[in-house]
A and B are shown apart, each in its own frame.
Chain A
């Protein structure tokens, strides 16, 4: 496998890297260490720059007016875009634009007109409401929100937990059990508007992460027209599952970006900070931490690009995406932890981004499927057929 970027990819990497270092990082110095947004004027100015660069809406498929990037190039960009304080959960503060919920590209034309296109124009926001208090790792069996038919409509009741952005969303892609099948064949996806009676965001769920928070949703007799079923009735889990696999590659790449930046900071600090008559870089204990960091970084990079290249070749990449997600999130956690250790007291403070990455990376080992579920996915494939 060749990990060397093409000339075109290298040009993109250099462009994004310069954008992060020259435009994003200087603004961050003036923001709260936990900030999740730029000042509106800065946001608009940078969106304009990204549009000039031709990268705006980079996750929008080419058929819908996006730049049509392949998965590998997108992953290489994600590695660069996360190399700043807010980069893990808000890479470049959203200045590269959103693509809406990926599932809506499979919607009916009427649904696209009502929800997808306004989202791409920045007029509407959506959220993805899958996880429930009964569990998130095995959603096919955990979903207890129920839906039953009432004439041409559906009536939904239940609750959702850890849903990002529901308080600011205009609509939600919400999954409910619509048959007696206790597994994946009894779940339907609905597009529900958050202003409809019966949809309430009850609270912010406070976590280690202070911005980009999650919320809890309560659904009471929420009436949904049949035209707002996404895909087929009782086949909604496939829609949810498809997203979970695809998301893992850029998710892993974001973790790697933070790890690379932490390693860069650790090396710079080790070379300049003196203790016991010489720089930290001269101490074997520090050298080994730097080397262990690099092993984690290169391992993650290999797994991410392997998964991305398989996806680009049209091959199955479920195991590779799971491996990339696991290796990158766990490896980046170790890298940031060691970088904090090398920085000593300074590493614990909000003066550096390390403590924010440390908290947010802890969530990354659970978000988009915990490490144990990634291992389960890989084990199924390894044990499900002949080993090649």
Chain B
């Protein structure tokens, strides 16, 4: 597992709900330019885990949500906090569609740069 989520992007246009996993894990939603706009998780209170959580965000974000990628993990809360902190480190802010008031307050300085950037270590 790399510290930055590295799974392939799936195009949400035409993606069937049933193609999303009904399992626990974390996900990122990106705009048409593949800029991450939301980091979330499908946890134990979701009836169908990631499938329900991603679907909720797709509906909430509407046309802003174009791509999704996910990672299956039972440690979805610690992984979610990690991804949020890495995003904060790489971009200087939390993803625009996340609620800033509930975002984790921690701080990470991961080795290596964001996608497409030279390593900073």
Chain A residue contacts of B66, Cβ below 8 A:
none
A206 to chain B: closest residue by CB: B75
Closest to A195 in B: B107
Q: Which of B1, B78, B85, B111 contacts A210 (CB 8 A)?
A: B78
With beta carbons under 8 angstroms apart, the residue of B43, B73, B108 that contacts A33 is B43
A-B contact sample (5 more), CB < 8 A, given A168-B107, A206-B75: A201-B109, A202-B108, A202-B111, A206-B79, A215-B108
Given contacts A210-B74, A211-B77, contact A204 B107 (CB under 8 A): no
- Given known pairs A32-B77, A34-B77, A211-B77, the reply for A204 and B44 (CB within 8 Å) is no
Distance A350 CA – B74 CA, assembled complex (angstroms): 11
Q: Is A269 an interface residue (CB 8 A)?
A: no
Whether the pair B77, A210 counts as a contact (CB closer than 8 A) is yes
* Chain B residues, Cβ within 8 Å of A168: 105-107
Please tell me if the beta carbons of A204 and B111 are within 8 angstroms of each other in the complex: no
- Digitize B79-95: 1 where CB-to-A-CB distance is under 8 Å, 0 elsewhere: 10110010000000000
Q: Please name 6 pairs of A and B residues whose Cβ atoms are closer than 8 Å in the assembled complex, sorted by A.
A: A33-B44, A34-B77, A40-B101, A203-B110, A206-B73, A207-B78
Chain B residue, CB-CB nearest to A40? B101
Interface status of B3 (Cβ within 8 A of chain A): yes
Kindly provide the distance from the CB of A255 to the nearest chain B CB, expressed in whole angstroms. 22
Mark contacts of B1-35 with chain A using CB atoms, 8 A cut-off: 1 yes-contact digit, 0 otherwise. Answer: 10100000000000000000000000000000000
Whether A32 contacts B45 by the Cβ 8 Å rule is: yes
Complex: A34 Cα to B3 Cα, angstroms: 21
Q: Mark B101-118, 1 if CB is under 8 A from A, else 0.
A: 100011111110000000
List residues of chain B with CB within 8 A of the CB of A200.
109
Q: Which B residues lie within 8 Å of A203 (CB)?
A: 3, 82, 108, 110
Question: B76 in the interface, Cβ–Cβ < 8 Å?
Answer: yes
Task: State the main secondary structure of chain A at its contact with B.
Answer: loop
Q: With A34-B44, A350-B44 given, is the CB distance from A210 to B108 under 8 Å?
A: no
Provide the bound-state CA to CA distance between A194 and B85, in Å.
Answer: 16
Q: Is A25 an interface residue (CB 8 A)?
A: no
Residue of A nearest to B73 (CB): A206
Q: Which of A31, A36, A207 is the one whose CB lies under 8 Å from B75?
A: A207
Question: A204 vs B70: C-alpha distance in the bound complex, in angstroms?
Answer: 18
* Residue A213 CB within 8 A of the other chain: yes
Please list the 4 inter-chain residue pairs (A to B) with the smallest Cβ-Cβ separation, ordered nearest first: A167-B106, A350-B44, A33-B44, A200-B109
Q: B75 touching A167 by the CB < 8 A rule?
A: no
B-side interface residues, number (CB < 8 Å): 23
A343 and B77 alpha carbons, distance in the complex (Å): 26
B76 to A: closest C-beta gap in Å: 6
Given A33-B45, A350-B44, the answer on whether A202 and B109 have CB atoms closer than 8 Å is yes
Please measure, in the bound complex, the distance between the C-alpha atom of A32 and the C-alpha atom of B74, giving whole angstroms. Answer: 12
A265 within 8 A of B: no
Name the interface residues of A165-184: CB closer than 8 Å to any CB of B: 167-168
Q: A209 to chain B: which residues have CB within 8 Å?
A: 75, 78
CB distance from A353 to the nearest CB of B (A): 11
Q: Kindly state whether residue A35 has any CB partner on chain B within 8 Å.
A: yes
- Are B44 and A201 in contact, CB atoms less than 8 angstroms apart? no
CA of A209 to CA of B76, assembled, Å: 10
Q: How far is the CA of A36 from the CA of B105 in the complex (A)?
A: 14
Q: Is the CB of B76 within 8 A of A210?
A: yes
Q: A200-B109, A206-B75 are in contact. Are A213 and B45 (CB under 8 A)?
A: no
CB-CB < 8 A to A40: which residues of B? 101
A201 to B86, CA, bound (A): 11
Closest to B83 in A: A204
With a CB–CB cut-off of 8 A, which chain A residues contact B74?
A: 210
Q: Which of A30-54 contact B (CB under 8 A)?
A: 31-36, 40
Cα of A364 to Cα of B108 in the assembled complex, Å:
26
Inter-chain CA distance A34–B110, complex, in Å, is 25
Complex Cα distance, B110 from A208, in Å, reads 22
**One of B1, B101, B110 near A202 (C-beta < 8 A):** B110
- Judge whether A34 and B43 touch: CB under 8 Å: yes
Q: Taking A203-B3, A203-B82, A350-B44 as contacts, is the C-beta distance between A35 and B77 under 8 angstroms? A: yes
Considering the complex, give the chain A residue whose CB is closest to the CB of B106: A167
